[in-house]
A and B are shown apart, each in its own frame.
Chain A
Amino acid sequence: MSGRQPVLTMTAISKSFPGVRALDGVDFRLFPGEVHALMGENGAGKSTLIKVLTGVYAHDAGSIDLAGQQVSFTGPMQAAAAGVSTVYQEVNLCANLSVAENIFIGREPRTLGAIRWGEMRRRARDLLTKLDLHIDVTQLLGTYSLAVQQMVAIARAIDIQARVLILDEPTSSLDATEVEQLFRIMRQLRDEGIAIIFVTHFLDQVYGIADRITVLRNGRLVGEYPIAELPQLALVEKMIGKELDVLESLDEQSKRDVRAIEAGTPFLQADELGRKGSVAPFSLTIHSGEVVGLAGLLGSGRTEVARLLFGADRADHGRIAVDGKPTALRTPIAAIGYDIAFCSENRRTEGLVGELSVRENIILAMQAARGWLRPIPRRRQDELVDKYVKALSIRPADPEIPVRNLSGGNQQKVLLARWLITEPRLLILDEPTRGIDVGAKAEIQKLVVQLSDGGMAVLFISAELEEVLRLSHKIAVMRDRQLVTELANDDTVDADRVMQTIASGTRHEGPEKA
Chain B
Amino acid sequence: MTTTSLAPTRAWWRIPQRYVPVLATLTLLLVMYAVGVSQYRAFSNIQVVFNVFIDNGFLLVVAVGMTFVILTGGIDLSVGSVVAMTAMMSAWLLQGGMHPAPVLLIALLVGPTLGFGMGCVIHFFEIQPFIVTLAGMFFARGMCTFISKSSIPITDPFWTSMAQERIGDPKGNFVSTSVLIAFVVVLVGAFVLAYTRLGRNVYALGGNQQSALLMGLPVGRTKIAVYAISGLCSAIGGILLSFYTLSGAPLIAVGMELDVIAAVVIGGTVLTGGSGYVFGTVLGVLVLGVIRTLITFDGSLNSWWTKIVIGGLLFAFILLQRLIGIRKK
Interface residues of A (CB under 8 A from B): 75-78, 80-81, 86, 88, 92-97, 101, 105-106, 108, 110, 113-115, 117, 135-136, 139-140, 142-148, 156, 174-175, 177-178, 297-299
B173 within 8 A of A: no
Tell me whether A94 and B212 are in contact (CB under 8 A): yes
B204 within 8 A of A: yes
Tell me whether B197 and A115 are in contact (CB under 8 A): yes
B41 within 8 A of A: no
CB contacts (< 8 Å) of A143 on chain B: these are 8
A76 to B219, CA, bound (A): 13
A175 to B1, CA, bound (A): 7
List the A residue with the shortest CB-CB distance to B5: A145
Interface size on B, residues (CB 8 A): 31
Tell me whether A110 and B216 are in contact (CB under 8 A): no
CB contacts (< 8 Å) of B328 on chain A: these are 142
Mask, B1-32, CB within 8 Å of A = 1, is: 10101111010000000100000000000000
How close is A491's CB to chain B, nearest CB, in angstroms? 31
List the B residue with the shortest CB-CB distance to A116: B195
Tell me whether A94 and B196 are in contact (CB under 8 A): no
CB contacts (< 8 Å) of B196 on chain A: these are 113-115
Tell me whether B216 and A106 are in contact (CB under 8 A): yes
How close is B70's CB to chain A, nearest CB, in angstroms? 13
Tell me whether A106 and B197 are in contact (CB under 8 A): yes
Tell me whether B200 and A105 are in contact (CB under 8 A): yes
Tell me whether B208 and A94 are in contact (CB under 8 A): yes
CB contacts (< 8 Å) of A93 on chain B: these are 208, 211, 215
CB contacts (< 8 Å) of B206 on chain A: these are 96
List CB contacts (< 8 Å) of B190-212 with chain A: 191, 194-197, 200-201, 203-204, 206-208, 210-212
How close is B222's CB to chain A, nearest CB, in angstroms? 11
List the B residue with the shortest CB-CB distance to A145: B5
List the A residue with the shortest CB-CB distance to B200: A105
List the A residue with the shortest CB-CB distance to B71: A96
CB contacts (< 8 Å) of B214 on chain A: these are 76, 86, 88, 92
Which of these, A78, A115, A144, A297, contacts B200 with CB under 8 Å?
Answer: A115
A443 to B306, CA, bound (A): 65
CB contacts (< 8 Å) of A81 on chain B: these are 216
A93 to B213, CA, bound (A): 10
CB contacts (< 8 Å) of B210 on chain A: these are 92
A140 to B194, CA, bound (A): 15
Tell me whether B274 and A94 are in contact (CB under 8 A): yes
How close is B36's CB to chain A, nearest CB, in angstroms? 35
How close is A203's CB to chain B, nearest CB, in angstroms? 22
How close is A147's CB to chain B, nearest CB, in angstroms? 6
A88 to B231, CA, bound (A): 37
Tell me whether B6 and A135 are in contact (CB under 8 A): yes
Tell me whether B5 and A148 are in contact (CB under 8 A): yes
Could you write out 10 A-B pairs with CB less than 8 Å apart?
A78-B216, A92-B210, A94-B204, A94-B211, A95-B208, A97-B204, A105-B201, A106-B197, A140-B18, A147-B1
B234 within 8 A of A: no
Tell me whether B216 and A136 are in contact (CB under 8 A): no
CB contacts (< 8 Å) of A95 on chain B: these are 207-208
A94 to B214, CA, bound (A): 11
List the B residue with the shortest CB-CB distance to A54: B214
CB contacts (< 8 Å) of A117 on chain B: these are 195
Tell me whether B1 and A94 are in contact (CB under 8 A): no
Tell me whether A135 and B275 are in contact (CB under 8 A): no
Tell me whether A144 and B1 are in contact (CB under 8 A): no
Tell me whether A96 and B275 are in contact (CB under 8 A): yes
Tell me whether A76 and B216 are in contact (CB under 8 A): yes
A101 to B212, CA, bound (A): 12
